[in-house]
Structure 1
């Protein structure tokens, strides 16, 4: 009997999964059938819009994992920091120039230090760095009484701050753990999350903050004071479909950022170097790639992505201490797409977003459905396909 089960393990497992799927369909089918058509379409549209932000969050986590093999549990708090810095520049016309200069100087010095031990004594690097500091400080301080310049200040300030945070985290917390068990680095990201949690409360307080980037005028100059988009589908689907503009623009910008970073990884020297290092660090180092520099840049880019997601999520809702839990809800998207797959992050994010919204239909009047749904997906993925839809199965010699 034991031999029979061992020889037919795959068939038996597939049959068990099929039976579970049939039981789920038998339970969910009547519930879904009771919903009116426009509600199903509305949930699908909302799920895709939410999933776009999840995909951007997942991309940042995938980048860190590909570069260093570390699953970054602090990603959500990095989102919050990026969003709060953007908010500070966005609402304050006269942001202290000394603070902007300090941010630019520290970021440039950290970036130069990634180029090697003697980089800070290299005259060419120092001259280039000084020019970069002047330009960045100017962009973060520009006003001239023109309201549109707040976008320049806010974007530059958020990107510089996020890059600085990523470089600091890599240089002083992750790099010293190279050669140590991977679990130590994972615990370090949990410690970083708690530090950032305390820092944000000390610096910005614990009250939610509105980020009206989609409520007034957006960077494209499109007015956002109009009501939501309405699609009258009363005759065909039995109701009116509403598309809120804030999630729609957040989705569009998230998708644009996602595509830009995919192109960056495919067609730039730094992106190709990061992909090579993700495959084999020792081989990448043997052919002359600066592994430490690439690792630092990867952390900087990942935190910039986190900050971008934080700004978009904050614009669609608000900036609050619960924002990091949005990143936790995106963890299933990472595992569903595959820890090594950039494209899988997009697919995983969309699937999780759709799952949340349809779960809300199944359990109306309760938040339990959309809160549980991502983690039920996570459990199912870990059981059925631990490497994810687009991940790679790794075979290790023991």
Structure 2
């Protein structure tokens, strides 16, 4: 058994798992605030990555300027999307809102293909060295950046929900929208903030992945891959999304190792998280940290 390769894959899995956890937190954030599952989450990654790539290539901006400019654009994009498209859906059946997010997913994917094409395009070189040697293992510089950003985002989420006024308003809205309104909380503002934060954090992940693998329409599939993470951790649990991301990140890389060494199935890396999704739904439908809903008939 190639132990060195296995350790390299486990480390890569932990790093990618932090990105999974960050994107999963966006799912959880929107679900906790609005009770809506956003099926356009992967397209948020795609839009953020293409926007940053366009700023760097078209205007030749340095990364340190194009990166925050992209995040500022995503704040405006997230708020505009919620106000123009989703706010009129408040009060409608949840399934109707979910269908709207599916429609947005298809629309944005087609729009990005029209504007930028379907070929994979590489980011300009951001770091002087593409990889760094850590304990004898080569780790890409973009992955190190992703690890740092992911940890900072997780810490920011913790303090945001625990201490900030907006975070506390989101928690109150997630608990009961009518009670939150009676306390003077603007539910519309909470919804807009949730979508804006989700768009920004997703763009962070999209840019990092684009720096490693290039930018193409395939990037939106990352949002689908995060579904097993969300279900495993619990659809309404921030902590669960982090732990679920690490588990799925390591699982798919270990599955790739087992596939290359013994099984030779060929696509176990892609399908292993969805096997985990099926198993967790059978054994623990609410996930490891999800809240059980008890309904009386």
Q: TM-score, normalised by structure 2?
A: 0.93
1:55 matched to 2:21? The reply is yes
1:396 matched to 2:261? The reply is no
For 1:41-120, what aligned pairs fall within 5 Å after superposition?
41-93=7-59
1:229 matched to 2:166? The reply is no
Instruction: Give ranges in structure 2 of 5+ residues lacking alignment.
Output: none
Q: Distance in 2 between matches of 1:42 and 1:160?
A: 35
Query: Is contact 1:337–1:390 with CA below 8 Å preserved after alignment?
Result: yes
Q: Distance in 2 between matches of 1:367 and 1:350?
A: 23
Q: Distance in 2 between matches of 1:297 and 1:320?
A: 28
* Residue equivalent to 2:212: 316
Give the number of the structure whose alpha-carbon radius of gyration is greater.
1
1:169-217 CA-to-partner distances (Å, cap 9, x unmatched) read 21222222222211111111000001101111222222212124xx433
* Residue equivalent to 1:381: 280
Q: Which runs of 4+ in 1 moved over 4 A?
A: none
- Residue from 345, 356, 372 that aligns with 2:271: 372
- Please state how far the C-alpha of 1:82 moved relative to its aligned partner: 0.8
1:91-135 CA-to-partner distances (Å, cap 9, x unmatched) read 2337xxxxxxxxxxxxxxxxxxxxxxxxxxxxxxxxxxxxxxxxx
Q: Report the count of equivalent residues.
A: 294
The SS at the match of 1:242 is strand
The SS at the match of 2:135 is strand
Q: Identify if the C-alpha distance between structure 1 residues 322 and 67 changes in structure 2 by more than 3 Å, giving closer, same or farther.
A: same
For 1:9-20, what aligned pairs fall within 5 Å after superposition?
none
The SS at the match of 2:203 is helix
1:270 matched to 2:236? The reply is no
Q: Distance in 1 between matches of 2:134 and 2:69?
A: 36
Instruction: Give ranges in structure 1 of 5+ residues lacking alignment.
Output: 1-34, 95-146, 218-222, 233-240
Q: TM-score, normalised by structure 1?
A: 0.70
- Please state how far the C-alpha of 1:250 moved relative to its aligned partner: 1.9
1:121-172 CA-to-partner distances (Å, cap 9, x unmatched) read xxxxxxxxxxxxxxxxxxxxxxxxxx75x522x1333122212221222122
Q: Which has the higher contact order (CA 8 A, sep 6+)?
A: 2
Query: Is contact 1:230–1:243 with CA below 8 Å preserved after alignment?
Result: yes
Q: Distance in 1 between matches of 2:134 and 2:165?
A: 45
Query: Is contact 1:90–1:151 with CA below 8 Å preserved after alignment?
Result: no
The SS at the match of 2:217 is coil
- Residue from 113, 121, 126 that aligns with 1:216: 126
- Residue from 336, 346, 354 that aligns with 2:232: 336
* Residue equivalent to 1:185: 97
Query: Is contact 1:48–1:350 with CA below 8 Å preserved after alignment?
Result: yes
> After alignment, is 242-251 or 264-273 more displaced?
242-251
Cα RMSD (Å): 1.8
Q: Distance in 2 between matches of 1:308 and 1:246?
A: 12
For 1:247-286, what aligned pairs fall within 5 Å after superposition?
247-286=143-182
